[in-house]
Amino acid sequence: MTKPVEPDAGAAETAPLSVPDRLTAAATRLFAEHGFERTSVQELVEAAGVTKGAMYHYFTSKDDLLFAVYERVLSMQTRRLAAFAEAEGPVARRLHQAAADVVITTVDNLDDTLIFFRSLHMLSPARQSQVRKERRSYHELFRSLVEEGAREGAFRTDVPPDIVVSQYFGAVHHLGMWYHADGELSGAQVGEHFADLLLASLRT
């Protein structure tokens, strides 16, 4: 058995995922459910259908696993934002699209983003600063769109762009606290409303 286990050998779910993928998937679910500290390595590996030996073969520590969960969603969102920022068209439209999109990717990965802000402080200082650095460049990319609109006269100039971005992302990052997939509004609908409110708040 080089990579996949034989079908239907494990517990409930036995998709042919690799062992590291099974571990990150189980970690995402359990960390979001009980929190990072309340989830023991033992129950984590049992949920993933592997053993501790397997986990410590691929990850150096429990923190490392948390970090891997962070990286996945953070790099994905950064890539998407860059694509919207570099696109053609008026800045108001690009900002609206980017703002709505980050809501959609956030609700599509609600567990990850919930863990993100709940457990960042559990990471080693080195890992924390690495995550913060990535988060910061993400913030700055978004801010550059706001500044571009302000220069062009499309947006108001009496509120610091940093405040605008911090306010918006604060709202997005808090989605994990209240949004439920089985609620009235889809992620796309919430994204539209959020983006509409953002653009309205920036009108001259």
Partner DNA sequence: CGAGAATCACAGACCGGTCGGTATGTAGGT
Partner DNA sequence: ACCTACATACCGACCGGTCTGTGATTCTCG
Residues within the interface to DNA (CB under 7 A): 1-3, 18-19, 37, 39-43, 50-54, 56-57, 61-63
Task: Please count the CA atoms within 13 angstroms of the CA of 67 that sit on its side-chain side.
Answer: 18
Which C-beta is closer to its own copies: that of 21 or that of 196? 196
Q: At what angle are helices 125-152 and 62-86 packed, to 10 degrees?
A: 10
Binding partner of residue 16 among its own copies, DNA, none, CB under 5 to 8 Å per kind? none
Shortest Cβ 1–its own copies spacing (Å)? 36
Report residue 150 as tokens: 């302000």
Which C-beta is closer to DNA: that of 123 or that of 190? 123
Which C-beta is closer to its own copies: that of 19 or that of 168? 168
Q: CA–CA separation, 110 vs 90, rounded Å?
A: 30
Contact pick of 122, 131, 141, 154 for its own copies (by CB under 8 A):
122
Shortest Cβ 113–its own copies spacing (Å)? 12
Scanning residues 2 to 61, which ones bind its own copies (CB under 8 A)?
Answer: 34-35, 37-38
Task: Please count the CA atoms within 13 angstroms of the CA of 16 that sit on its side-chain side.
Answer: 6
Cα angle: 142, vertex 184, 104; to 5 degrees: 25
Neighbouring residues of 13: CB distance < 8 A, sequence distance ≥ 6: none
Contact pick of 143, 173, 180, 186 for its own copies (by CB under 8 A):
173
At position 92, the amino acid (one-letter code) is A
Shortest Cβ 80–its own copies spacing (Å)? 20
